[in-house]
Amino acid sequence: MDIEKYIKSRAAAVNAALPRFVAALRDSDPRLAGAMTYSLAAGGKRLRPVLMGASYEIFGGKASEILPAACALEMVHTYSLVHDDLPAMDDDDLRRGRPTSHKVYGEALAILAGDALLTDAFTVLLSSRYPARVKPAGLLAAARVLARRAGARGMVSGQAADLAAEGFLRGKVTPARRKAGLQLLSYIHLHKTADLITAAVEMGAALAGAPEKDFRALSAFGRDIGLCFQVADDILDVVGDKKKLGKSGSDARNKKLTYASLLGVPEARARAEALMRKALPALARARGAAGPKAALAGIAEFVYRREN
């Protein structure tokens, strides 16, 4: 399986579906709708929707049946980037190779566009039509996963801890501080990044009505590739090609705590690989179709090796 081709073709289906939901914004304030569309259309790998589709397919459905849910998750991811880039947060000027939302629309509208993307994600998720395979209980479960993983006990706590860790590297890194830093990093990565990637595979399983045991196996897989994704991201912020990344690498400027800055790049790489290797047995525990499982394994490897 050519995994990059697989991801690209699945991402294309998401990119084709997103404007359908954006079209529903026609009676919104036009500046607001413009700011939402700008950030949604900025591209990206669409990794979370692709993961959700593959996870759903393990249990017999077709990814195209749950495109609204996949787009909803991408909307939540997009909101988190818009708010994360704000001057009061990471203060980034560039995202996916284009000026960030607040650079184009101003700070106030960027805040509102993020708020609306988050809220409308629930409208898209809950108000869309699904085939009979998706039961109301599965839809409710998927919405619960999204809210839980994106909220105060999930992604937002990761962002808050990330803020608090800013400037960590301005002080001298003694062995005791290194240990505290590693603990803090685990918390940040688990919530800031892994929670939403975990939500992707969990929502796919929930929508498919997967048995509890398989849901848990996929959840563990999602957590590990989510953690791997963020370690790889930290490494890329140091050694990556800024042009390929399409962002400016604000971690070093903000003296941010990352695995790369705390342990050095080679040790961070080893950690990313260990996480990827740990994810695979969890995936193997989930029963279901072999093809989508192979796709998920391929994505795990891609997450580890990616260059942007």
- Contacts with a second copy by CB under 8 A lie at 24-25, 27-29, 31-33, 36, 79, 83, 86, 88-89, 106-109, 111-112, 114-120, 122-123, 126-127, 136-137, 139-140, 143-144, 146-148, 150-153, 156-161, 163-164, 191
Query: Shortest distance, CB of residue 207 to a second copy, whole angstroms?
Result: 14
95 forms beta bridges with 98
Nearer to a second copy, 138 or 226 (CB): 138
Nearer to a second copy, 58 or 208 (CB): 208
Nearer to a second copy, 96 or 148 (CB): 148
Nearer to a second copy, 55 or 159 (CB): 159
Nearer to a second copy, 36 or 262 (CB): 36
Nearer to a second copy, 17 or 110 (CB): 110
Query: Shortest distance, CB of residue 114 to a second copy, whole angstroms?
Result: 8
Query: Shortest distance, CB of residue 212 to a second copy, whole angstroms?
Result: 16
Query: Shortest distance, CB of residue 199 to a second copy, whole angstroms?
Result: 11
Query: Shortest distance, CB of residue 184 to a second copy, whole angstroms?
Result: 11
99 forms beta bridges with 94
Task: Give whole-number Cα distances, 293 to 10, 112, 160, 221, 263, in Å.
Answer: 15, 38, 34, 11, 33
Query: Shortest distance, CB of residue 156 to a second copy, whole angstroms?
Result: 4
